[in-house]
A and B are shown apart, each in its own frame.
Chain A
Amino acid sequence: MSWTTILPMHFVMVAALLFGIGTAGAIIRRNALTLLMSIELMLNAANLAFITFARQHGGAEAQIYVF
């Protein structure tokens, strides 16, 4: 029941870009709330990387960490 044939590498790239955008936001914005939202972006990038590696190794354990 696999949906996609896209390589996990591409998902990791998206996660890395998302993390980079979050980092840039955390550095260039001074508003406290925007800072928090940027950190939220970085957190989501990490979660996406976790889920991607869960798929790469074929186990659901990493999904627990995200949970």
Chain B
Amino acid sequence: MNDAGLVGAILFYFAAAFTLAFAVGVIIAKTPLRGALSLIATLCGVALLFLLLDASFIAALQVLVYAGAIMVLFVFVIMMLNLGPDAGARPAYLSVAKLLGAAAAAYFTARIIADVTGGAGKPVDGSVKAVGTLLLTDFLFAFEAISVLLLVAVVGAVVLGLKRLT
């Protein structure tokens, strides 16, 4: 293994451990705010993994859109609603649900991992130019369809908000 490969391997294991540790932090956090902060760290770790996979444009978008915009929205909502630790009643069967949920998640994860095979990867051009060209030529229709979908979502949000105001 050459030098760059070694650095890549160290970065991969660091990013993977970072991502998974903070992902666990999201679901065991006592308060939603801590969960949201852990989720920001998780998303940054996933962005680092994207970088290692030659997807630099997607990694930048991940940090800008997810860790930036969407998580700001989450934190904003949490602070506006002033959620305390574990708002809402917790029924007695929750420990059984916890066991069942953990077991189900472990089972599906094991199934996925057991089924995965494959050889070495090939280098991909994930620059803004390559992805943008592909997006606006071969995938133009899907791109425009997504735009319309987003427009519908915006209009729906405005309509729902107005209805609540009046």
Contact = CB atoms under 8 A, between A and B. Distances in A.
Q: Do A and B bind each other?
A: yes
Nearest to B25: A21
Counting chain A residues whose Cβ lies within 8 A of the other chain, the interface size class is 35 or more
B77 A9 contact: no
A52 B118 CA distance: 11
B9 A5 contact: yes
A43 to B, nearest CB: 9
Interface in A29-52: 29-31, 33-34, 36-38, 40-41, 44, 47-48, 51-52
Interface in B117-166: 117-126, 130-131, 134-135, 138-139, 142
Contacts, number: 211
24 contacts: A2-B54, A3-B8, A4-B5, A8-B53, A11-B52, A20-B105, A20-B106, A20-B108, A21-B24, A27-B101, A31-B32, A31-B86, A33-B74, A34-B32, A47-B46, A47-B62, A55-B54, A55-B123, A56-B118, A56-B121, A58-B124, A61-B134, A64-B135, A64-B138
